[in-house]
Chains A and B, each alone.
Chain A
Amino acid sequence: MKNMLVAFAFVSLLALAQAVTLDEIIASSIGQSAPDAMKSLVGTNVIQAYVTSGASAKYYYAITQDGKVESSGRGRLLLPQPTVLLWADQTTVDRILSSPDAAAETRKAIDKGEIKVEWKNNLFARLSFGLFRLFPINLQGGPAYAPYIPRNPPGLTIPAPNPSFNSQIGPYPGNYACEFYQISSNPPSNKKVVTCAAYKAGDNFCAIAMQSPQAKAVICNDQQVVCTLPCSAVRVKFVCAFDVNRPRGANAPPLDFCPPPPTPPAGPSKKSVGSLCQHGGECTTGNCVGDGMGPPWVYRCSCNPFRMDYGCNK
């Protein structure tokens, strides 16, 4: 039963992971807590799940506190160490999620060994579960579903960018520049991103923030960090790393102090009608025709493509 609950919680989490819209999340009715009678069974645990598909694996975790899911997410947890490991194949998970009776399908999958549950470092848990298997106890009721609680509104309001804001950054000829603020203006607080006094801390921060080892910190103080990157070092187009306090935009592109790209050199000027030529491309009119009583002829630019004509040159 304990394994059943844990596995069901796991499947519920997977349903959450696969839900892509708010409606789907509501429809998936995520089980967030167990009924009181079951709390001691689900208990306080760190559940790590692996879902394999061929050679690849996806990782999920859930941390329960007194039967309630305290936090959950994706990833291969290092701390806290898992107390329960679960494994399932992606096809099994898909089958459970598409079944009208997910609980029964989960039970079947456990019985068939398609979901494996291992309790770590917990002899009592292993024994108690084993005894449940040996002497099944029909505990009534499955995991309860908490009513859907509207989610909190987004926690961060990104101010509208103000591209006309004169940040007085630079100029740094031959470089791109990104600025970061170490003090938040609203509400006023210190949000230090780098301790400038530490050896190479500013340069390291800039290298990571601008995604290039050639980036350098040209200003680094308790208020602001300005990073530059040589124009020649830019491998791909990029945006400055997110900073909600950047007036010209949290996701703004870098300030561009790069020289304009060289324009291709202008070709030699075309020849006017009557000038000597070798082909039509040399002439403003595009026509180069033989002139005189030749052969040999003298070739000149002409208004007419078939005979010498100075008519358009007036």
Chain B
Amino acid sequence: METKQAAIIAAAILILLGVLVFGAAFFMGGASVYAPPLPEEGVVPVDVPFSANGQEYVQVKYMVQGQYSDPLLSGAFFSNMPSKTNFKKSPPPDQTGYEGFVPYSLAEEEGQKVLTASVPNAYDATYVRLYAFVNGHDYWSDEFVIYP
């Protein structure tokens, strides 16, 4: 009888240890990473590749947050040199020094409106900034460099 009880207790302890090891392994498997919230208004890059992989055009994708009029005024501005403008002041496009502009076309991904623009792959390095005119304000993304 005592042997049987001891066996049951030992089995219970083994099961408990197993659960503990499994749980520890699972929860140590990765820390929680919380995605930063999206801005209420502005431009959120979705896909700006590092390289155009030799293609004639590189497609950039982004979202525009906030209330905007239809049609939305937006697109990608680019140059073969970085802009020297201070973008903290949200300048209008003509004050940025970018030499080219490509308009967007609309698509949908995961139920969200995504804007795509085909930036020409014509320079040794293309400096691109995404733009949107929302609620009377000029919004710009960071400047991204895309290599051929």
Where the two chains meet, the residues of A that have a C-beta atom closer than 8 Å to any C-beta of B are: 3, 13, 16-17, 20, 22, 25, 50, 52, 57-59, 61, 71-79, 81, 85-87, 113, 116-119, 123, 125-131, 133-134, 151-158, 204-205, 207-209, 211-213, 235-239, 241-242, 244, 250-251
Partner of B36, one of A52, A74, A208: A52
Roughly how many angstroms separate A154 CA and B62 CA in the complex, as a whole number? 23
Partner of B100, one of A71, A235, A250: A250
- The contact sample of 13 A-B pairs, CB cut-off 8 A, is A13-B50, A76-B35, A118-B31, A130-B24, A130-B28, A151-B54, A156-B120, A158-B120, A208-B104, A209-B103, A213-B69, A239-B101, A251-B101
Q: Which residues of B contact A156 (CB under 8 A)?
A: 56-57, 120-122
In the complex, how many residues of chain B place their beta carbon closer than 8 angstroms to a beta carbon of chain A? 65
Partner of B110, one of A22, A52, A79: A79
Q: Which residues of B contact A213 (CB under 8 A)?
A: 69, 71, 73
Q: Which residue of A lies closest to B127 (CB)?
A: A20
Q: In the complex, are the beta carbons of A151 and B51 less than 8 A apart?
A: yes
Beyond A117-B33, A156-B120, A241-B75, whether A78 also contacts B110 by CB under 8 A is yes
Partner of A242, one of B36, B46, B102: B102
Roughly how many angstroms separate A50 CA and B75 CA in the complex, as a whole number? 24
5 new A-B pairs (CB below 8 Å) besides A73-B50, A242-B102? Answer: A79-B109, A79-B110, A129-B30, A156-B121, A213-B71
Where the two chains meet, the residues of B that have a C-beta atom closer than 8 Å to any C-beta of A are: 21-22, 24-36, 38, 44-57, 61-63, 69, 71-75, 92-95, 99-104, 109-110, 112, 114, 120-125, 133, 142, 144-145, 147-148
Q: In the complex, are the beta carbons of A50 and B148 less than 8 A apart?
A: no
Roughly how many angstroms separate A244 CA and B63 CA in the complex, as a whole number? 26
Q: In the complex, are the beta carbons of B50 and A16 less than 8 A apart?
A: yes
